[in-house]
Structure 1
Amino acid sequence: MNKNAYKNPVFYVSSIIVLLLVLIGTFMPEQFGAVASQLFDFTTVNFGWFYLLAVFAIIIFLFGISITKYGKMKLGPHDSHPEFPFFTWIGMLFSAGFGISLVFWGVAEPMSHYFTPPFPFLEGQTEEAAREAMAYSFFHWGISQWSVFAIVGLVIAYLQFRKDEKGLVSVAIQPIVGKNKGVANTIDSLAVIATVMGVATSLGLGFIQMNGGLTSVFEGIPNNIWVQLVIAAIMLVAYMLSSSTGLNKGIKWLSNINLGVALLLMLFVFIAGPTVFILNTFVLGLGDYMTGFIEYSLRLTPYSGGEWVYDWTIFYWAWAIAWSPFVGAFVARVSRGRTIREFVFGVLIVPPAIACLWIAVFGGTALYSDLNNGTQIAEAVNVDVTVALFETFATLPLTNVMSILSIMLIFTFLVTSADSATYILGSMTSKGSLNPSLFTKMVWGTLIAAIAIVLLFAGGLEALQTASLTSALPFTVILLLMVVSIIKVIKRDYKVKK
């Protein structure tokens, strides 16, 4: 075993806690789910306002610092250059930050909002509901979600590559809280636990979606746990091969493949689908997103008592915050050598723009079909969200070919997510090592896959996902401390440079 992992209490504490949570979720799924749900409801209902304000403040800070004199400072030595080409960098960001989630929700979310609109005065399955559905989908997958990943990535990358510090969440707030081993180990253990549970549930949901796709394409393949088990086993073997090649080969090439296949699928649907409608939808949705950005960002319902904002926006922000240690640390690792300005605009503009275009193409095609062709994709999604993408392909030519390509894309996203997550977990539990041992990565990779499989059998995926989101509240405080931390460090460094 890697010496750093062997001597690091974070490795043992986090792995033991994760194992205990999985055992409880396996043998007492209903009780575990009830407690997790109560904790999540308590944090979101009582602190939803805090999530909204924090994310909004982080966005303002990131754009603010990028346009100041500090924007020219590099995430690394003065003479450093970007480690990865731009397309590869964006591919890595896209794979780690969105991955399978966007493939899953690109149709499912706008169709869900079309069926049940965000505002109570709107009637479902109308043109007005379709317009609002697209605007809100852009908002949820846009700048706000990525700002959470960006602040973590910015602080860790700056301290790691410019100050030669360890790439850990605890180190990122040291300029504020000082050096305390107990506090540092607690924060890092919390980051590891949230990452493991979040990735495990995403993999489990990915196995379910892949199984649904295979069943829709190949009549002889059933939709059951045993097929999902085979998918998990194949994914684990592919991940092991990818992980053994290192960051510069496995994740790099898979990220390029992911982005390439995703763009190919999007181009096909754009051409084969209602092209002009998609373009109009994209432009209008972008306009609605921009004009409604402040309202959406700070929207709560204290007078009407509606649950929609809690079920969607606040849930998304909690999910992004809970995932921020993993995605942020990975974003930091692949952003060495870029200026702060290039980092902020690259992370906050390009991936969200791709996401909005993806939603316009796939979600727009589904909306057009329901509005003009009498299909019932929204009804199907309301019954089972996993069928959203494949129901949309059924309205287009080359249905099976596109479905198979999508299944391949989901699979490579699964492998990339597992690969990047276990790299970061290996680093987190090896005292911030840039090159965690293969053994440590294999331990976490195997553990994550095993957790996903066990929970599929136990039916506890949703409970574990909800449990992981309870970590969002303390991490929101940590994110705000990071903002203060990076301001303090950068101002001091700028004065020294002058």
Structure 2
Amino acid sequence: MNNSMQSQRYGFLGDYDKPLFWSTAIITLLIVALGVISPETLKTYASDAQGYLSSQFGWAYVLALAVYVGVGLWIGFSRYGNLKLGKAQDTPEFSTFTWVAMLFSCGIGVGFLLWGVAEPLYHYMQTPYMAKPATPEAIPVALQITYLHWGLHTWMGYCIVGLSIAFPAFRYGKPMNIGIALYGLLGERTENSIWARLLDLVGAVATIGGIATVLGLGVISIDYGVGHIFGIETGNVGKIIIIALLAVAYTLSAVSGLKRGVAFLSTLNVVVVIAFCVFILVTGETNTLMRYFVTGIGNYLGNLLPMTFWADPLQKTDWINWWTIFYWLIVISWSPFVGGFVARISRGRTLREFIIFAVLVPTVCSMLWFSVIGGSAIGIEAAGEVKIFDAVQANVGAGIYVLLESFPMSGFLSLVVFCSMVIFLITSADSACFFVAMQMSKGVYEPTLGMKMTWGLFTGLLAIVLLLSGGLKAVQTASIVAGSPFAIGIGFMVWSLLRSLKFEYAKEHSKEVNEVIHKESQPEDKTDDFVALEGIAYKTTE
């Protein structure tokens, strides 16, 4: 049923899931109300909860992400790799480049620009292990730690959720909501199961928090960019205008549909970012940067297992809590909407293709990006030319702009980065709004315009209210804490996925065997013109 027919029949919001809609809205508003009335109270409780989770259960999050990576790689390169997300005749809805660009923009595109300079510099100046800080030996260590946080674990954390949702939805023609990922365990009872409904609710609330986080990052980076490029100091009014414009833009993009707004903006932005990275590589220390990249691949692969399972048993510092475990908490809390959106755009892909292009290719691209951008920043900082780290400590959004001051056409490049940041924010937020609208609309693949507009504007208004009250950071922390139990949900989703894969593989294999038996049981053609040889007909000539 298309949007216009659905709207005429069910009204502005279409046929939506009323319990999920209102429970998500009420829970979100309660958290926001506390953030407005007493932001410090919410921040204290949320920070304490995050600290408790990190210190007491950090090992569990480290182990969980390691398991997800191992299981995901095994699925992609095992006998199940040829199974499709959908029916045998289904073909991909988007070209491979557009598909990868969309999942890149939805996942961590804005983070690349925000942290491309900042994170490698932090690990270089405050190296936690394997090297003394701010030494030549610290450079490869800083880069490989950054690869850990932006590589296999992050992409697989999102994509294992995407696989768990996409496989039963496309394979069995089911609604695309988070709860359907339990189909392999619950079967036809899934849609009415309390566990599936609970998974839907946790995922929806985590998604709203995820959008708030995206907008919060946007305010930091865009606010600095406006001052740096245009010389305009933005107060609260300016920040409100920024969020309002972003909210209108990502709502319009979500309303325009996947094949127009989202796909176009994602593809455009990825092309711009590739060109930007190549420019920095060519005009910078090309040889050194490529050596960082090549050496970094070896360091990353060689130390992947030790870094993956390092949980700091002595807990001498809080480094792992504020870096690795914090990242894994973000991945887990964001996985419902990133994974769900990736699932929506992946019909027709085989599981092996999914793992290669949605996990391995982005991982290599991430390594190249941080080698070039982060390596350039470390080189300039180490040479003492510009104190980039001081700027980053003062404002994390300053890093890439300060870096560009050491390159030709810095003014133009800063404008390019600024525009790219805006587009990445739009594509991340519109993906989230699109996914929330899908959940509220009972998992339909194309929600009504009214539902997409409602959640797009709702999240924008929430961000403005939180910004004025000073509670934005508190709600971001609270959303991460609220989404953390989803780690348990992912475990059941993966278990369900494995059961579905086993069943579908056996079914397909059985079908192939039956076809072979059927062919072999047919009477042979005894004519002089054709001879049957191992099931293949060859025409003979005199």
Indicate the TM-score class for this superposition, using the shorter chain for normalisation: over 0.9
Q: Cα deviation per residue 1:100-159 (whole Å; 9 max; x = unaligned)? A: 11110111100111121122x743322122221111001110001111111111111111
Amino acid at match of 1:374: E
Question: Which among 137, 145, 155 is matched to residue 128 of structure 1?
Answer: 137
Query: Any unmatched runs of 5+ in structure 2?
Result: 1-11, 511-542
How far apart, in 2, do the equivalents of 1:181 and 1:485 lie?
Answer: 14
Q: How does 1:178-257 map to 2 (within 5 A)?
A: 179=190, 180-219=192-231, 221-257=232-268
Aligned to 1:63: 73
Unaligned runs of 5+ residues in structure 1 are none
User: 1:9 & 1:274 partners in 2: Cα distance?
Assistant: 57
Partner of 1:465: 476
Give the conservation status (yes or no) of the 8 Å contact 2:169–2:180.
Answer: no
CA distance in 1, matches of 2:255, 2:140: 46
Aligned-partner SS, 2:176? coil
For 1:50, the equivalent position in structure 2 comes to: 60
Report the residue type matching 1:452 in the other structure: A
The 5 A counterparts of 1:109-128 are 109-119=119-129, 122-128=131-137
**Distance in 2, Cα, partners of 1:164 & 1:231:** 40
The reply on whether 1:312 has 2:328 as its aligned counterpart is no
Write the mapping of 1:320-335 to structure 2, written as runs, cut at 5 A. Answer: 320-335=331-346
> For residue 405 of structure 1, what is the aligned residue in structure 2?
416
Q: What does residue 161 of structure 2 align with?
A: 152
| Equivalent residue pairs, number | 495
Task: Give per-residue Cα distances to partners, 1:160-195, cap 9 Å, x unaligned.
Answer: 111112212212124335534433322211111111
**Corresponding residue for residue 18 of structure 2:** 8
What is the alpha-carbon root mean square deviation over aligned residues? 1.5
Alpha-carbon distance, 1:251 to partner = 0.3
Find the aligned partners of 1:429 and 1:277 in 2 and give their Cα distance.
50
- Aligned pairs for 1:97-116 (under 5 A) are 97-116=107-126
Larger Rg: 2
Aligned letter for 1:53?
Answer: L
**Which of 442, 445, 448 is the equivalent residue of 2:456?**
445
How far apart are 1:472 and its partner, in Å? 4.0
Tell me the residue number matched to 1:350: 361
CA distance in 2, matches of 1:275, 1:374: 18
Alignment partner for residue 428 of structure 2, among 414, 417, 426? 417
Deviations along 1:364-386, whole A, 9 cap, x unmatched?
11111112243211222122212
Range with bigger deviation, 366-375 or 444-453: 366-375
Q: How far off its partner does 1:223 sit?
A: 3.6
1:46: how far off?
1.3
Please give the secondary structure, in 2, of the residue aligned with 1:406.
Answer: helix
User: Partner of 2:146 in structure 1?
Assistant: 137
Which position in structure 2 is the counterpart of 1:377? 388
Task: Determine the structure 1 residue equivalent to 2:7.
Answer: none
Structure 1 match to 2:398? 387
8 Å contact from structure 1 (residues 117, 129) kept in 2: yes
Contact persistence 1:73–1:339 (CA under 8 A): yes
* 1:399-424 deviation line (CA, Å, top 9, x unaligned): 11011001100111111112111110
Query: AA paired with 2:62?
Result: L
Q: Quick check: 1:166 aligned with 2:175?
A: yes
**Residue equivalent to 2:46:** 36
TM-score, scaled to structure 2: 0.89
The aligned counterpart of 1:279 is 290
Task: State the alpha-carbon separation in 1 of the partners of residues 359 and 444 from structure 2.
Answer: 27
Higher mean displacement: 249-258 or 178-187: 178-187
Q: Give the Cα–Cα distance (whole angstroms) in 2 for the partners of residues 360 and 111 of structure 1.
A: 12
Cα distance in structure 2, aligned partners of 1:31 and 1:339: 48
TM-score by length of 1: 0.96
- How far apart are the structure 1 equivalents of 2:397 and 2:335? 25
Partners of 2:228 and 2:483 in 1: CA distance: 36
> Distance between the aligned counterparts of 2:199 and 2:74, measured in 1?
28
1:14 counterpart letter in structure 2 = T
Q: Which residue of 1 aligns with 2:100?
A: 90
Indicate if the aligned counterparts of 1:322 and 1:471 stay in contact, CA closer than 8 A. Answer: yes
Q: Is the 8 A contact 2:281 2:372 kept in 1?
A: yes
Matches within 5 A, 1:71-86: 71-86=81-96
1:267 is matched with which residue? 278
Is 89-98 or 234-243 further displaced after alignment? Answer: 234-243
